[in-house]
Amino acid sequence: MGMRDMKKSAIATFLKFIAILACFFIISCSPNTNNSSINLTVSAAASLKDVMAEIKPIYEQQKTNVSLTLNLASSGSLRQQIEQGAPVDLFISASASHINMLEEKGLIIDENRRDLLKNQMVLIVPQENTALVNTFEDLTKEAISTISIGEPQSVPAGKYAKEVLTSLGIYEAVESKIVFAKNVRQIVNYVATGNVDAGIVYQTDTNVSDTVKIVANAPEKSHTPVVYPIVIIKDSKNIEAAQKLEEFLFTPEAKAVFEKYGFIPIL
């Protein structure tokens, strides 16, 4: 091989090396879509505040490219937000009725709808219980002036509470005493601070305060079963990631957290 050919070969080899180096640089600098960060917005009933706050870091540690934004409020408020176009990926409602409304409007992915949890309704009073409330029937006593329940139209716990009082035949007798609240945590606060004599909430909500106590459990047949359905919103930009999160919430690991807070997982 002549000197000129050797030079040509060397130049060609050098150019190939530069091309390979350039390709490597482009690949290394290009965003990796498989590992790109995903943020999922989870709208959940206010009664799920503490349990979802514990599940959030557990899931984010397992799925390092996924972060969760928790949006907690009454199920009715959350449904209205979704109807108005709020960017939500998953919705966990404390009542099937709000999910049904979204389903009728074609806003959820029907095949991903599942029942996630169960809860129970209880009657709570301040730890001191100076009004001496020990049963639901005691709410009719003249000494009891105020009872707090959720707003039945927007707060599932309020709907269940009204069903309980109606089933026991005392709703009309106590209706004038009722102080409506925008969510269950507000009811607990009213009772804990002594602003009302009693309140009707989910059993799980009593775990957030050591200044209230349960005095009676609502009869099982006195209200619609308290079930928390979970759905994926059709307009979600991250449906696959949302499906994986939904699947995780049915795992034994998530079940243990739900049970810790008094929920009854549906598996």
Is residue 28, in this structure, part of any structural domain at all? no
Domain boundary among 179, 198, 217: 217
Same domain, 209 and 239: no
Q: Which residues of the chain have pLDDT under 70?
A: 1-35
Count CB-CB contacts under 10 A for residue 153: 10
Same domain, 133 and 203: yes
Is residue 3, in this structure, part of any structural domain at all? no
Same domain, 99 and 146: no
Same domain, 197 and 235: no
- Beta strand ranges found along 190-237 (DSSP E): 198-202, 212-217, 226-232
Same domain, 203 and 181: yes
pLDDT of residue 1: 53
pLDDT of residue 10: 52
- The label of the residue with tokens 């009664």 reads 47
Cβ atoms of 206 and 214 closer than 8 Å: yes
pLDDT of residue 223: 96
Question: Which residue, among 43, 52, 47, has the nearest Cα to 185 in the 3D structure?
Answer: 47
Cβ atoms of 249 and 55 closer than 8 Å: yes
Same domain, 114 and 232: yes
Q: How many domains does the chain have?
A: 2
Helix (H, G, I), strand (E, B) or coil at 219: coil
pLDDT of residue 23: 40
What's the CATH code of the domain at 256? 3.40.190.10
Is residue 149, in this structure, part of any structural domain at all? yes
pLDDT of residue 9: 56
Same domain, 111 and 157: no
pLDDT of residue 36: 80
pLDDT tens track for 35-72: 589 999 999 999 999 999 999 999 999 999 999 999 99
Same domain, 126 and 211: yes
Q: Give, for 88, the enclosing helix (H) or strand (E).
A: none
Q: Give, for 264, the enclosing helix (H) or strand (E).
A: strand 264-265
Same domain, 84 and 156: no
Q: Give, for 125, the enclosing helix (H) or strand (E).
A: strand 121-126
C-alpha distance from residue 20 to each of 6, 14, 23, 30 (Å): 21, 10, 5, 15
State how far the Cα of 266 lies from the Cα of 137, in Å rounded to an integer.
32
| Exposure on the CB side of residue 205, measured as CA atoms within 13 A | 28
State how far the Cα of 56 lies from the Cα of 43, in Å rounded to an integer.
13
Range of the domain at 163: 121-217
The sheet carrying 226-232 orders its strands as: 66-73, 38-45, 90-92, 226-232, 114-119, 264-265
